[in-house]
């Protein structure tokens, strides 16, 4: 990251030239681009079949479809970060999935 010598603003690359984002001053030196960390490529990803290896907790919750009394549950942040998370349920019998907002 480079900063402008004139105003201290952030220098960005525009049309292959270094330009201050705040005041628009163009830098005379050639822009330098380099990565700060190396990203490694993974060759294979394991996929676990949910039917064979379900690790979700089971709770007492009535399924709206089959009226079974047990369901798996998990939570996910589906809205803004300042709002509560959404809890998802999946029936252990008929596999129907539904959600419940807090």
Residue 74, domain CATH? 2.20.25.10
DSSP 24: -
Cα pseudo-dihedral 97, 62, 72, 51, rounded to 10: -60
Residue of 40, 51, 83, 85 marked active site: 83
Structural domain count, the chain: 2
Q: What is the mean pLDDT of residues 81-94?
A: 86
Q: How many CA atoms lie less than 13 Å away from 73 in the CB half-sphere?
A: 16
- Residue 83 bears catalytic tag: yes
N- to C-terminal Cα separation, the chain: 42
Residue of 16, 34, 40, 82 marked active site: 82
Whether 40 is in a domain gets the answer: no
List all residues 6 or more positions away from 46 whose beta carbon is below 8 Å from its beta carbon.
none
- Residue 60 bears catalytic tag: no
Q: Which tens digits make up the pLDDT trace of 28-65? A: 776 666 666 666 776 766 665 555 456 788 999 999 99
Question: Which residues span the domain enclosing 26?
Answer: 1-30
- Residue 102, token pair as written in the block: 């807090």
Whether 19 is in a domain gets the answer: yes
């Amino acid at each position: 990251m480079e900063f402008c010598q004139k105003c201290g603003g952030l220098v960005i690359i525009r049309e292959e030239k270094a330009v201050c984002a705040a005041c628009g001053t163009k830098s005379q030196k050639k822009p330098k681009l380099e990565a700060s960390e190396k990203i490694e490529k993974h060759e294979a990803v394991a996929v676990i079949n949910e039917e064979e290896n379900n690790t979700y907790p089971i709770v007492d919750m009535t399924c709206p479809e089959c009226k079974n009394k047990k369901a798996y549950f998990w939570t996910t942040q589906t809205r803004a970060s300042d709002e509560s998370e959404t809890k998802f349920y999946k029936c252990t019998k008929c596999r129907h999935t539904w959600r419940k907002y807090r």
